[in-house]
Chains A and B, each alone.
Chain A
Amino acid sequence: MYSQGLIGADGRTEESPEFLEAFQRRIDAEEKIEPKDPMPAGYRRTLVRQIGQHAHSEIVGMLPEGNWITRAPTLKRKAALLAKVQDEGGHGLYLYAAAETLGVSREEMTEELLAGKAKYSSIFNYPTLSWADIGAIGWLVDGAAIMNQIPLCRCSYGPYSRAMIRICKEESFHQRQGYEIMLTLCRGTPEQKAMAQDALNRWWWPSLMMFGPHDKDSAHTEQSMKWKIKRFTNDQLRQKFIDATVPQAEFLGLTIPDPELRWNPDKNDGRGGYDHGPIDWDEFWRVVKGHGRMNRDRLAARRKAHDEGAWVREAALAHARKRKARAMAAE
C-alpha cells in the first residue's frame, strides 16, 4: 500500500532538445520505456525516487498492521492479517526489483531508508491503537493507495507498470477485507461500533493527505504527468477517493469527521462530488519531516531488524563461500 505524494522529486534534466523530443514522442505514443532504453536522467531519477519510496512504504507499512497480528481476535482474522502483511513484504520485494532495473541496488536503497534519508508514505507514522485500525487501514489506506496505483499500472516505465498490475490485484482484495472488518464491527456491539468510529476519526485526514499537497503546491506533478509517470493530479485522485468513500461510510453508519463535507452537484463537470473542509498541511509536513507519533519508532524497528539480522546475512554469505571453496577443492 502506498499513495503518491512523491516527496522531493528532482525532474531536472540536461539532455539535448533533440533527445528529449525523441523521448517525449515515445511517451506520447504510449510506448513503454524499458530498462536498457535511453532515457533522460531526470526521468530515471524521478522513477528511482518514486519506486524506492513506494518499496519502502510497503516495508515500513508492515509494522503498523504487524502490531495486531499477535492480537487478532479470531484465527481466521489472524491468518488473513498475516497473509496481508506478507503480501506487503512481497510488494516491497518486487518494487525493489523494479527499482534495481534503473541501476540502484536494494542495499543502497535500504541504507538510505535506515539513515532516515529516504521517504516513505507518511501514513505509517501513525499508530494502530485498536483492532478497528486494521479495518480502517484496509478500507481507507489501501483504498487511497488503489486510487493512485490503478493509473500507475499504465505508467510509462515498463517494469514499474508491470509490478503495479500484480500489486493492484492484491490491494483491492486487502481493501475489501478491511471494509469487511469495519462492517463486522459496525454490526457488532456498541463498543465495537465506537471502536470503528474512533478509527475512522483518526485515519480519515491522514488518508486524504496520502495524495500529497494540493496541485497548486505540488512542484513536480507537471513534469511527472508529461512523462506519464503520473496520470492524474493529486487533487483529482483525492476527489475520486472522497467521492467513492463517503457512501461507504454511510453504509457502515459511520460519520466522516469533517463538518464541512457536503454534496456539491456542480462538482466534477456537473456530475457532482463532495466538497471537503481544509486539510491540515502543517500536520502533513510535520509528519513528513519526521515528527509524527511513530516516525522514530518505525525507523528504530527497521534498524533493529537490520542490525540484529546482520549476523544471519553474514553467515549465509560465509557459508556459500565455504561451499564453493569445498566444491572447487573436490574437483
Chain B
Amino acid sequence: MTDQLFDALIELADDNLVLGHRLSEWCGHAPMLEEDLALANLALDLVGTARALYSLAAEVEGKGRTEDDLAYLRVEREYRNLLLVERPNGDFGHTILRQFYFAAFMEPFWSAAAAGSSDARIRAIAAKAAKEMAYHLRHSGEWVVRLGDGTDESHRRMVAAVDALHHYTDELFVASPAAEAMAGAGVLPRREAMRAEWDRLVGQVLAEAGLTAPDVPWPQIGGREGLHGEELGHMLAEMQYLQRAYPGATW
C-alpha cells in the first residue's frame, strides 16, 4: 500500500513538474506581456503542486528523501509523467492546447479527490489544485477558441496542434497498477471516470473553435512505465544540471 501510494503520488508529481517546467521555458518569450505573466502563473501553480506531491511522497516513503531528491536525482526511465506533458512547447498554439487537454482532465480529477479522497493530505493538495486547474481550464480554453476561430493562419496552426497532440490524450485515462490500487482504496479518483467530463469539455471547446478531434487509431502510451519520447531526457539534463554537477551541495 505504501509503495503504491508513493508510486501514484510520483506519477502525479512528475506530470505537474514536467508541465510546469515546460511552461517556465516561455518566461520572457511569450507573444505578449500579459501572456508572459499568465504562463508564469500557470507554471508556478504546477510547480507548487508538484512540490506538495513530492513532499508527501517523500514522507510516505519514509527514507529521508526530499522533494529535490525526487525531482533532481531520478533519470528519465524513472520519471512517470504522461507523454502529453513532456511534449516540447512548439508554438503558442501547441502550448495552450496541451494545457487545455491537461486541465480538462485535472480539474475534474482534483475536484473529485478534494471531495472524496480517504486521505486528508491528498484532499488538501487537491482542493488547492482544483481551484487552480479551473483557472487553467478557462484560460487555455478561451485561447483555444480565440486561435481556432481567429485568422486563417491561427486556425491552420491549431489544426496542426490538434493533429500533433490529440493522440497523447488517451493516456490521461490509463491507470498504472499503483493508480488502480489507489482508486480501489478510495485514495485517488479512478482516472477512467474522468472520461465523460473530459469529452464534454474538449468537445465543447473544439466545436466552438471550429476544430475537429481526429480519430486516433493508435494512441501513444508509455509514460507511466518510464517509456518516454526523446525530448524528456534533454529537459531533465537541463533541469538537473547543477544537482548532477555538484553532488551533495546545498543551494
Chain A: residues with CB nearer than 8 A to chain B? 59, 62-63, 66, 69-79, 82-83, 85-86, 89-90, 92-93, 96, 131, 184-185, 188-189, 191-192, 301, 304-305, 308-316, 318-319, 322
Interface-lining segment among B4-12, B114-122, B143-151, B160-168:
B143-151
- Say whether, besides A62-B27, A62-B28, A79 and B151 are in contact (CB < 8 Å): no
Tell whether, in the assembled complex, residue B249 and residue A314 are in contact, meaning their CB atoms are under 8 Å apart. no
State the CA gap A308–B33 with chains docked (Å): 13
How many chain B residues touch A (CB < 8 A): the figure is 49
B157 at the interface (CB under 8 A from A): yes
Contact partner of B30 (CB less than 8 A), chosen from A70, A77, A305, A322, is A305
In chain B between 30 and 51, which residues have their CB closer than 8 angstroms to a CB of chain A? 30-37, 40-41, 43-44, 47-48, 50-51
- Which residues of A sit under 8 angstroms from B30, Cβ to Cβ? 305, 309
CB distance from B190 to the nearest CB of A (A): 29
B contact residues around A311 at 8 Å (CB) = 151, 153-154, 157
Would you call B246 and A70 a contact (CB within 8 A)?
Answer: no
**Contact between A318 and B154 (Cβ–Cβ < 8 Å)?**
yes
- State whether B32 touches A318 (Cβ < 8 A): no
The answer to whether B47 touches A79 (Cβ under 8 A) is yes
A92 touches B242 (CB 8 A): no
Indicate if the CB atoms of A90 and B27 lie closer than 8 Å.
no
Contact A309 B242 (CB under 8 A): no
Given the known A-B contacts A192-B246, A305-B31, are A74 and B251 also in contact in the complex, defined by CB atoms under 8 Å? yes
Q: How far is the CA of A77 from the CA of B154 in the complex (A)?
A: 36
How many angstroms from the CA of A309 to the CA of B96 in the assembled complex?
Answer: 13
Closest to B54 in A: A75
User: Which residue in A82, A308, A310, A314 is a CB contact (below 8 Å) of B27?
Assistant: A82
B31 touches A319 (CB 8 A): no
A86-B41, A184-B250, A188-B249 given as contacts; is B151 within 8 A of A315 (CB)? Answer: yes
Once A73-B251, A86-B40, A191-B246 are accepted as A-B contacts, the answer to whether A312 and B32 lie under 8 Å apart by CB is yes
Q: A93-B37, A309-B32 are in contact. Are A184 and B47 (CB under 8 A)?
A: no
| Given A82-B40, A86-B37, A86-B40; A77-B251 close (CB under 8 Å) | yes
Report A-chain residues with C-beta under 8 Å of the C-beta of B72.
73-74
Selected contact of A75 from candidates B33, B71, B92, B145, CB within 8 Å: B71
A79 in contact with B150 (CB, 8 Å)? no
Residue of B with least CB distance to A63 = B28
Q: Tell yes or no: B215 within 8 A of A by CB.
A: no
Supply 9 A–B pairs (Cβ within 8 Å), ascending by A. Answer: A75-B50, A188-B249, A189-B246, A304-B29, A309-B31, A312-B35, A315-B146, A319-B145, A322-B149
State whether B48 touches A79 (Cβ < 8 A).
yes
What are the residues of chain A within 8 A of B251 when measuring CB–CB?
73-74, 77, 131, 184-185, 188
Q: Find the residue from B29, B157, B246 having the highest chain A CB count within 10 A.
A: B29
The answer, yes or no, to whether B24 is at the interface (CB within 8 Å) is yes
Q: How far is the CA of A96 from the CA of B146 in the complex (A)?
A: 25
Which chain A residues lie closer than 8 Å to B149 at the CB level?
319, 322
Q: Contacts A82-B40, A188-B249, A312-B154 given: A89-B32 contact, CB under 8 Å?
A: no
Q: Taking the complex as formed, is B197 at the interface, i.e. its CB lies under 8 A from any CB of chain A? A: no
> Are B27 and A73 closer than 8 Å at their CB atoms?
no
Question: How far does the Cβ of A35 sit from chain B's closest Cβ, in whole Å?
Answer: 21
Beta-carbon contact of A315 and B147 below 8 Å: yes
Of B37, B71, B146, B239, which is within 8 A of A70 by CB? B239
- Main SS class of interface, A: helix
Contact with A along B10-29 (1 / 0, CB 8 A): 00000001000100110111
B67 lies within 8 A of chain A by Cβ: yes
How far apart are the CA atoms of A76 and B72 in the complex, in Å?
Answer: 12
Taking a contact as CB atoms under 8 Å apart, the answer to whether B41 and A75 are in contact is no
- A85 and B40 contact, Cβ closer than 8 Å, known pairs A73-B243, A312-B92, A319-B149: yes
Chain A residues with CB under 8 A of B147: 312, 315, 319
Closest 7 CB pairs of A and B: A309-B31, A315-B150, A315-B154, A73-B251, A86-B40, A312-B31, A62-B28
Whether A318 contacts B151 by the Cβ 8 Å rule is yes
Contacts of A188 in B (CB 8 A): 249-251
Of all chain B residues, which has the CB nearest A75?
B51
Q: Is B238 interfacial (CB 8 A cutoff)?
A: yes
> When the two chains form their complex, are residues A89 and B246 in contact, meaning their CB atoms are under 8 A apart?
no
- A85 contacts B27, C-beta separation under 8 Å: yes
Q: Is the CB of B36 within 8 A of A89?
A: yes
B225 at the binding interface (Cβ < 8 Å): no
Report chain A residues within 8 Å CB of B92. Answer: 308-309, 312
Q: Known A189-B249, A319-B150; judge A59-B33 contact (CB<8 A).
A: yes
Q: Is the CB of B31 within 8 A of A82?
A: no
Residues of A within 8 A of B17 (CB): 75
Closest-by-CB residue of A relative to B29 is A305
The answer for the CA separation of A82 and B107 in the assembled complex, in Å, is 23
Return A122 CB to nearest CB of chain B, in Å: 18
Q: A304 to B31: give the CA distance in the assembly, Å.
A: 9
Chain B residue at minimum C-beta to C-beta distance from A71: B241
Given contacts A77-B251, A79-B44, A189-B249, contact A314 B154 (CB under 8 A): yes
Nearest-CB distance from A46 to chain B (Å)? 24
* Cβ B24 vs Cβ A82 within 8 A: yes
In the bound complex, do residue B47 and residue A78 qualify as a contact, i.e. CB atoms below 8 Å apart?
yes
